Structure 1
Amino acid sequence: MTAFIIRRLLWMVPILLGVSVICFALLKQAPGDPVAILVADARQAGQQISVEDRARLREQYGLDRPVYLQYTDWLGQVLQGNFGVSTRTNAPVHELIMSRLPNTLRLMGAALILTFAIALPLGILSAYKQYSRLDYFLTSFNFIGISIPQFWLALMLLYLFGATLGWFPTRGMGSPYAEPGLWNSIVDVFRYYTLPVISVTLVSLAGYMRYQRAAMLEVIRQDYMRTARAKGLSEAVVILKHGWRNALIPILTLLGYILVLLIEGSIVVEVIYSWPGMGDLAVTSLSQRDYPVVMAIVMLSAVGILVGTLISDILYAVVDPRVRYD
């Protein structure tokens, strides 16, 4: 297992290098110029920017150098733990990331827990009650959940429960006017987290429930399930002890896929609900051509997905003793 983990960690290096090259090249091919945006903002503020000032800004951010040299400069800084300076705010990129990352982790963590808590038991129940009304209802829900665009769902939840009914706030992650006290803090967190967490959860819930149902149906037909029933074990013990653990094995391999969905979903949700997280920062930075921030977010997301995939492979071996990584 140790050798396998080391090999996987070493394989991450060329993968991350390839991601950085592709992302850097795509950003450089995109229309727009960071200096032109800075000049436009300065003119709107009533400031005059000369040609010399433009040249100085391009030199300051290294935009006057060839693209391959810009990439090697950026890579050299990253290897030293420095992601550069934001062209939009002139603040260190790592400070911007660290100010937003905890908010995104809270959102994704709550959505991941809710996804597992709902999808696993409902997927098992749907398989156990195959071809029943409950199974048809849950299967229909899965198809609808997979088909609905997430941005549309988030907007509908925002419009219905936020703007129309006024049950939940429409933006932000906390009220600055919340009354002190533990209970008031819990209520405030619940009100601000409910709609964003539901919007992110529904992205992965339908697909995950569908996979759990398929895995459980495969397990139910196995001989050891009939043997367990023949021994006189209760149906709950047969399903939960003998069935669920074996049905969980293929589901663990989807952890990396779920992380991709959560990252993708968090970007859309953070923009719609003005959630001060990484997704909102990524969209704002991309629109402002703030390339250092965008590159840092892309690389951090790639690392998270690769680590999540590695963890799922390790858990696969833990759950299934037959699996051995030589």
Structure 2
Amino acid sequence: MFKFILRRILTMIPQLFILSILIFIMAKAMPGDALTGQLVSNPKMDAKTILELKQKLGMFDPPYVQYVRWIKGLVHGDLGLSMIHQTKVTHLLAGRMWNTVLLSGAILILSYLISIPLGIVGGRWTDSWADKMIVGYNYLTFATPLFILALIVLFIFGFILGWFPTSGSVDIRVENGTFAYYMSKLDHLILPAFSGAIVSTTVTIQYLRNEIIDTKIKDFVKTARAKGVNESKVYTNHILRNSFLPIAAFLGYEIVYLIGGSVFLETIYGYPGIGQLFVSSILQRDFSVVTALVMIFGLATLIGTLLSDIILSAVDPRIRIE
């Protein structure tokens, strides 16, 4: 196991290197920049001042010089300076990263709380009325884009019923660290977490339902029943134990999906996380923030796939990845 993890980590190094080159090339290919945009938004700025700032920041240096400087900064934990916010990108991300982690964690927990019971019911009582309702629910959530569902949930529960706040991550009127503060955080978290969880249940329900259906007709299950093993124990000790293997392996990819989904959810709900920051930075041509976030997303994707392989090899002794 250790050799496998070490080999995968070493493989990630050239992957990150190639990713960094692609990100840098795409950032340079995009038109405009944050400084040029300030000519319109800031009347105190003029073309001469912008030109001097660009020269000072090395924006006219050869591309390979800029790339090497950027990579050196990444290695030392320096993600650059945000031209729009006039602060270091690391400081900018620090205030938003935990909001995204909190939202992603809530979506993951809610998703499994919904999908695992539904998958078990659908797989155990196949073709029953409950299974048909679950399959119908699955088709509906699969066919509904995340941003459409999020807008519907926001409109109904936020604007029409007024049960939950429609933007932000906490009420600015409550004091940090108090019980009211954490309750406000929870109140602002419910709608985006619920929207993301509903859509992300589709794959887990389908995988678990299909695995239970396939596993319950296998020979070792028939043998257990022939020996007189109680039906509940057959499902608990034989069918479910084997059916959960793909779900465990899919956990890493689920994390990757949550990162991508946070961009839509945080933008729609005005939730101040790195997804919302990513969209606003693209619109404002704040490329130092964009490149840093894409690198973070890429690293999270690689870690997610690695985590999936580790979990699968740990829970299934028949697999020998090493």
> For the superposition of Structure 1 and Structure 2, which TM-score range results when normalised by the shorter chain?
over 0.9
Partner letter of residue 46 of structure 2? I
- Please say if 1:13 is aligned against 2:9: no
**Distance 1:71-1:14 versus aligned 2 partners, 3 A rule:** same
Task: Please report how far the alpha carbon of residue 113 of structure 1 lies from its aligned counterpart in structure 2 after TM superposition.
Answer: 1.1
Q: TM-score, normalised by structure 1?
A: 0.93
Letter in 2 for 1:40: V
User: Which residue type is aligned with residue 2 of structure 1?
Assistant: F
CA separation in 1, counterparts of 2:47 and 2:283? 24
Sort the Cα spacing of 1:65 and 1:219 in 2 relative to 1 into closer, same or farther, 3 A. Answer: same
Q: Letter of the aligned partner of 1:4 in structure 2?
A: F
Question: How far does the alpha carbon of each residue in 1:257-292 deviate from its partner, in whole angstroms, 9 at most, with x for none?
Answer: 212221111111101111110101111111111111
Size of the alignment, in residue pairs? 322
Contact 1:203 1:262 in 2 (8 A): no
Residue type of the partner of 1:296? Answer: A
Residues 181 and 108 of structure 1, relative CA distance in 2, 3 Å threshold: closer
Q: Which structure 1 residue ranges, 5 or more long, are not aligned?
A: none
Superposition pairs of residues 302-321 of structure 1, within 5 angstroms: 302-321=298-317
Q: Output the CA distance in 2 between the equivalents of 1:113 and 1:136.
A: 25
Judge which range, 175-184 or 255-264, deviates more.
175-184
Asked if the contact 1:23–1:295 (Cα under 8 Å) also holds between the matched residues in 2, the reply is yes
Partner residue, 1:28: 28
- Is the aligned partner of 1:114 residue 2:107? no
1:86 shift after superposition: 0.9
Q: Which moved more, 1:72-81 or 1:277-286?
A: 72-81
Task: Give the fraction of aligned pairs with identical amino acids, expressed as a percent.
Answer: 37
Distance in 1, Cα, partners of 2:210 & 2:146: 24
Distance 1:145 1:204 in 2: 8
Q: What's the TM-score, normalizing by structure 2?
A: 0.94
* In structure 2, C-alpha distance between the alignment counterparts of 1:56 and 1:135, rounded to whole Å: 67
CA distance in 1, matches of 2:172, 2:20: 39
Q: Deviations over 1:163-194 (max 9, x none)?
A: 11111110011113348997645543332111
Q: Is the 8 A contact 1:154 1:269 kept in 2?
A: yes
1:36 alignment partner, SS class: helix
- The runs of 5 or more residues in structure 2 that have no matched partner are none
1:266 aligns with 2:262: yes
Given the alignment, which residue of 240, 243, 250 partners 2:246? 250
Alpha-carbon distance in 2 for matches of 1:317, 1:159: 44
Q: Which AA in structure 2 matches 1:103?
A: N
CA distance in 1, matches of 2:237, 2:86: 56
1:98 to 89, 94, 101: 94
